[in-house]
Amino acid sequence: MAFGRLERPQGSQPMSDINMTPLIDVMLVLLVIFMLTAPLMTSRLKLDLPKADARANPPTPPAVLAIALTADGQTHLDEQLITPEALAKQVEAQSRAKPDTEVQLRVDRVVPYERVAQLIGLLQKSGLNRIAFVTEAAVPGAAGDGGVGGDVGAPDMTPSAKP
């Protein structure tokens, strides 16, 4: 004879949340340990290296082609007027001689985009893929069309490389 309830008591429900605090604490401790030990891991051997009479070769500057398209439609290679056929031959020869040649394009703002695209196509077809556009820095606060293609100041001789 049982004198009790027929129901079973409900047990504790499983926890469906993960407590992130201990995990974050462990990660911060590991981060601190690695930050403290990383500088100590570099080996600094004191070596007395032998002397040699050989001189180090000076680094050779990379080959650069400067191509300019003027407003009157003419093409210049390294400040010299050149025909499109002669330019194609020069570019092809330079590509064979030094394939890592950088081409610096200086294009007048009124030159049609189609002409620039044709020149870039010619350069890429010949194998020269390092193309940089040379621009001039805009004068801050200058009157114009909002700073985009407005008045220009001194030339900025650092080319902006095309990826």
pLDDT of residue 15: 73
pTM of the model: 0.51
DSSP-based three-state secondary structure for 57: coil
Sign of CA dihedral 69, 74, 67, 99: positive
pLDDT of residue 86: 93
pLDDT in tens, the chain (163 residues): 556 666 766 777 777 788 889 999 999 999 999 998 887 776 666 666 677 777 767 777 778 899 999 989 899 998 899 998 999 999 999 999 998 899 999 999 899 999 999 999 999 999 989 999 888 887 776 655 544 544 444 455 555 555 4
pLDDT of residue 19: 85
8 A C-beta contact, residue 119 and residue 153? no
Rounded to whole angstroms, how far apart are CA atoms 130 and 163?
A: 8
Comparing CA positions, the residue from 69, 71, 92 lying closest to residue 81 is 69
pLDDT of residue 43: 60
User: Strands across the sheet with 130-133, in order?
Assistant: 80-82, 75-77, 64-69, 102-107, 130-133, 160-161
Encoded tokens for 18: 């993960």
pLDDT of residue 11: 72
